[in-house]
């Protein structure tokens, strides 16, 4: 028997080879044996296709019985292969839904959104997941939100999910490897790639020392620099100073921005202004989002006090001006212990003016600890008008000199005067309010006044009107004045009187100002009462004058002139002599010009309305006019012209005839010719009418004529002018005499 080579994955059973892919073959020896068994003679020849022994013909000869024998052997082998596949399947295998997870760059303390990872068993056996681990020392940076795979037994092609997020705890490269402990011993891990960033606060210098600073010398400054040494934006939330002496330290400048990018820095100044003598310490605290919490910078300095043991907060107390006999508002002075030890106050006293008094003494017979203070409250009650001075003195035990505070105040008294004693409104028309007159009152005292009231009293008080003023609502300082507007509106004729009363308060007597005026009546007469413009050519303008006379006893003021009626637009105001600002005196007159300009040929009517300060206002004047279509007119300078005499064959001097158009339209000139028995004895000479076809309104031209006799004796002819006026033509009679040559 010859052993055939066995293909990978195939199984040999006897002389049959079984391939799991579904193919099989019989070995050569088995075939030969079968052939021999089927050939009783044991040596029948095998013919091929060509008939030669051992060729394909021999195989075809045996196909049928061999196929039956092969099937009998193949079926058990197939069953055996299935059993092998069932008893020995492929092992389980882990497969992830992604090749790796990239979380990117995340700020320390912040978290990414959750990431879902799907795990699938791509093997044939069950996958048993026992645990989930992160392979490196940054496991705390990864937050497992949901583990849907732990303890699961996944059939082939079954899946489960894991949800996790990246929340770094420290900056730097925080990459890791996610691995599942399972029965897949060769299963790969899942790469987790992530980088963490964080801000880091830097302070320079590490501490600040101001040394010795005198209390009265003013603040000392030092520069402090903040920098971001980290890899993320630094947010500056608050910068403040803590400690028992924090009030002695402050910041004079601020960083221009509340954030610092990596590598950026900003600077500000810390100031030291000691309040007491001795060492002073505090801490500058910078609250930010940097790792490690707030930044702290120790600041220190030494205060030096060379002044009195108790330092007053003011070298002098200046009281506001106070009315004589009235106590003013209290004022206080604070005495602070600037030394390093306690100070005992023996006494306090006031010298100088008796107008100053202590109403509260918190310093007398008291021990004031270092850094503490005491309070003295004083008032000012002036006994007389003018300046007052005093001194508040404190004496301390063991002090070489007393502490003194100057006291200053001024006693004042208000006084009110009116700048006028009386106001005369003169004549005012009944029922009409006059222009306001102003009365000024002045504070001539040394204290501010707040007037109590302003009123008008008297028998005719209702006819005098109190206008707007600021005298009552606003304080009136010394030397200042306020004005009160008063009007006069008489209701009766004759003299009217009242009194303006100004009450200044402050127990002062009221100020009285007399008010007087006369009620009068004004009356207007227009002449003529009706104004008729008669006929006016269209496009032309006709003007008339209207006389206005004041027949009343009061000055007449014209307050308005206007036209009313459907034809008001055809009339207009012209030149006017009436004084609108000063009015028309009683018995006086003035003129108002009125023009009429029609636009169509018809009758026009309107009214001139005159408003004035009289009881019968307004006055009305009727206006009328007629528009007429413009037409030409013809006028000739003469109807006859004697040219004298001239010898036959000679000529006389030139005579002239003037043609004119006094009408309102163009006048056509149709022809100018000579007519008559002796027309040939006269000659037209060129004038301005020559070549003129029409005369403009109010225009004119000339025609020249001379005697040129051709026979002796009296000669007579005429000039015939044809035109476009109503008459149509006009003539000028011409006369002259022809002489013999001897004459």
How does DSSP classify residue 2?
A: P
Maximum distance among all Cα pairs of the chain, rounded to whole angstroms: 201
Mean pLDDT, rounded, for 641-648: 92
Cα–Cα distance, 365 to 21 (Å, whole number): 119
pLDDT grade, residue 430 (50/70/90)?
A: confident
Cα–Cα distance, 740 to 63 (Å, whole number): 180
pLDDT grade, residue 137 (50/70/90)?
A: low
> Structure tokens of 80?
């055996």
User: What distance lies between CA 743 and its chain's CA centroid?
Assistant: 109
Whose CA is closest to 310, among 260, 261, 366?
366
Sequential DSSP letters for 504-521: --TTPPPEEEEEEEEEE-
Whose CA is closest to 82, among 18, 161, 2, 150?
18
pLDDT at 59 over 60: no
Least reliable range by pLDDT among 26-40, 330-344, 394-408 = 26-40
Structural contact between residues 505 and 449, judged by C-beta atoms closer than 8 angstroms:
yes
Q: Give the residue with greater pLDDT, 368 vs 398.
A: 368
| Rg, the chain, Cα only | 66
84-123 pLDDT tens trace: 656 667 788 888 888 899 989 999 888 999 999 999 988 8
Supply angle C-alpha 366, 371, 376, rounded to 5.
Answer: 45
Q: Give the residue with greater pLDDT, 714 vs 71.
A: 714
Q: Given this model, what pLDDT does residue 341 score?
A: 85
Structural contact between residues 165 and 140, judged by C-beta atoms closer than 8 angstroms:
no
pLDDT grade, residue 30 (50/70/90)?
A: very low
Cα–Cα distance, 416 to 508 (Å, whole number): 8
Residue with token string 């306690």: 342
Cα–Cα distance, 149 to 128 (Å, whole number): 9
Backbone angles phi, psi at 723, to 5 degrees: -140, 180
> Structure tokens of 212?
């010795």
617-644 pLDDT tens trace: 899 999 999 988 888 889 999 999 999 9
> Structure tokens of 711?
């026979």
Q: Give the residue with greater pLDDT, 430 vs 650.
A: 650
Q: Given this model, what pLDDT does residue 216 score?
A: 79
The verdict on pTM exceeding 0.75 is: no
Sequential DSSP letters for 314-326: -SEEEPPPEETTS
Q: Given this model, what pLDDT does residue 432 score?
A: 78
Structural contact between residues 123 and 91, judged by C-beta atoms closer than 8 angstroms:
yes
Sequential DSSP letters for 256-294: S-SEE-TT-EEEEEEEE--SSSEEEEEEEEEEES-TTS-
Sheet of 713-723, strand order: 640-647, 729-739, 713-723, 667-675, 694-695
160-209 pLDDT tens trace: 999 999 999 889 888 888 888 888 776 678 888 999 999 999 999 989 99
Cα–Cα distance, 623 to 528 (Å, whole number): 10
Q: Given this model, what pLDDT does residue 7 score?
A: 42
Structural contact between residues 550 and 587, judged by C-beta atoms closer than 8 angstroms:
yes
459-505 pLDDT tens trace: 999 999 998 788 887 888 889 999 999 999 998 878 999 999 999 88
Cα–Cα distance, 633 to 660 (Å, whole number): 8
Whose CA is closest to 161, among 179, 144, 148, 177?
148
pLDDT grade, residue 36 (50/70/90)?
A: very low
248-303 pLDDT tens trace: 899 877 787 889 999 999 998 999 998 888 899 999 999 998 888 899 999 999 98
Mean pLDDT of the chain, nearest integer: 84
> Structure tokens of 335?
């005495």
> Structure tokens of 4?
């055939």
pLDDT at 454 over 90: yes
571-618 pLDDT tens trace: 999 898 888 888 888 889 999 999 999 989 899 999 999 998 877 889
- Please give, one letter per residue, the 3-state secondary structure of 400-462: CCCEEEEEEEEEECCCEEECCCEEEEEEEECCCCCCCEEEEEEECCCCCECCCEEEEECCCHH
Structural contact between residues 504 and 597, judged by C-beta atoms closer than 8 angstroms:
no
pLDDT at 124 over 90: no
Q: Given this model, what pLDDT does residue 86 score?
A: 60
pLDDT at 4 over 90: no
Q: Given this model, what pLDDT does residue 113 score?
A: 92
Q: Given this model, what pLDDT does residue 514 score?
A: 94
Structural contact between residues 676 and 718, judged by C-beta atoms closer than 8 angstroms:
yes
């Amino acid at each position: 028997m010859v052993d055939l080579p066995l293909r990978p994955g195939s199984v040999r059973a006897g002389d049959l080879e079984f391939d799991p892919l579904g193919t099989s073959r019989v070995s050569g020896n088995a075939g030969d044996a079968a052939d021999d068994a089927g050939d009783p003679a044991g040596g029948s020849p095998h013919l091929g296709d060509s008939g030669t022994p051992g060729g394909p013909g021999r195989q075809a000869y045996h196909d049928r019985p061999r196929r039956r024998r092969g099937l009998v052997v193949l079926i058990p082998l197939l069953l055996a292969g299935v059993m092998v596949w069932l008893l020995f399947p492929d092992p389980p295998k882990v497969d992830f839904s992604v090749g790796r997870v990239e979380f990117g760059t995340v700020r320390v303390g912040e978290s990414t959104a959750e990431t879902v990872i799907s795990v699938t068993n791509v093997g044939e056996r069950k996958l048993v997941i026992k645990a989930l681990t992160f392979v490196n020392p940054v496991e705390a940076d990864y937050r497992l939100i949901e583990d849907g795979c732990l303890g699961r037994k996944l059939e082939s092609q079954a899946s489960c999910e894991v949800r996790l997020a990246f929340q770094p705890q420290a900056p730097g490269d925080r990459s890791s490897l996610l691995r599942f402990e399972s029965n897949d011993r060769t299963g790969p891990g899942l790469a987790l790639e992530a980088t963490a960033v964080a801000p880091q606060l830097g302070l320079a210098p590490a501490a600040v020392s101001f040394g010795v600073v005198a209390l009265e010398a003013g603040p000392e400054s030092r520069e402090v620099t903040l920098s971001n040494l980290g890899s993320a934006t630094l947010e500056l939330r608050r910068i403040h100073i803590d400690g028992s002496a924090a009030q002695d330290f402050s910041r004079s400048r601020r960083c221009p921005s509340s954030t610092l990018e990596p590598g950026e820095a900003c600077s500000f100044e810390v100031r030291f202004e000691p309040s007491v003598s001795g060492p002073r310490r505090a801490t500058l605290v910078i609250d930010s989002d940097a790792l490690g919490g707030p930044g702290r910078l120790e600041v220190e300095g030494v205060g030096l006090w060379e002044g009195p043991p108790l330092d007053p907060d003011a070298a002098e107390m200046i009281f506001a001006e106070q009315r004589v006999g009235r106590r003013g508002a209290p004022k206080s002075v604070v005495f602070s212990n600037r030394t390093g030890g306690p100070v005992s106050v023996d006494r306090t006293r006031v010298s100088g003016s008796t107008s100053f008094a202590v109403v509260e003494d918190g310093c007398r017979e008291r021990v004031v600890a270092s850094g503490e203070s005491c309070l003295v409250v004083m008032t000012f009650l002036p006994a007389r008008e003018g300046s007052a001075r005093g001194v508040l003195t404190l004496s301390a035990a063991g002090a070489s000199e007393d502490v003194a505070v100057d006291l200053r105040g001024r006693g004042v008294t208000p006084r009110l005067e009116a700048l006028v004693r009386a106001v005369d409104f003169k004549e005012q028309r009944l029922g009409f309010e006059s222009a306001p007159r102003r009365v000024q009152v002045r504070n001539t005292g040394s204290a501010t006044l707040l007037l109590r009231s302003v009123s008008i009293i008297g028998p005719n008080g209702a006819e005098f009107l109190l206008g707007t003023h600021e005298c009552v609502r606003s304080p009136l300082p010394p030397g200042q004045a306020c004005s009160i507007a008063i009007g006069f509106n008489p209701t009766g004729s004759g003299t009217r009187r009242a009194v303006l009363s100004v009450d200044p308060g402050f127990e002062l007597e009221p100020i009285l100002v007399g008010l007087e005026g006369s009620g009068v009546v004004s009356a207007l007469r227009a002449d003529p009462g009706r104004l008729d413009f008669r006929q006016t050519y269209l496009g032309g303008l006709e003007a008339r004058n209207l006389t206005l006379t004041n027949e009343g006893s009061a000055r007449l003021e014209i307050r308005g002139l206007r036209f009313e009626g459907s034809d008001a637009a055809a009339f207009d105001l012209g030149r006017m002599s009436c004084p609108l600002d000063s009015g028309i005196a009683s018995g006086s007159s003035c003129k108002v010009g009125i023009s009429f300009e029609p636009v169509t040929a018809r009758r026009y009517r309107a009214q001139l309305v005159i408003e004035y300060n009289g009881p019968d206002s307004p006055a009305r004047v009727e206006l009328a006019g007629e528009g007429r279509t413009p037409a030409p007119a013809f006028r000739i300078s003469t109807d006859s012209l004697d040219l004298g005499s001239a010898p036959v064959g000679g000529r006389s001097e030139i005579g002239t005839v003037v043609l004119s158009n006094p009408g309102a339209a163009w006048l056509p000139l149709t022809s100018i010719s000579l007519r008559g028995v002796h027309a040939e004895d006269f000659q037209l000479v060129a004038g301005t009418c020559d070549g003129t076809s029409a005369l403009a309104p109010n225009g004119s031209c000339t025609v020249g004529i001379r005697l040129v006799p051709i026979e002796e004796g009296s000669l007579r002819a005429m000039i015939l002018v044809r035109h476009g006026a109503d008459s149509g033509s006009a003539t000028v009679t011409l006369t002259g005499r022809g002489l013999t040559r001897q004459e």
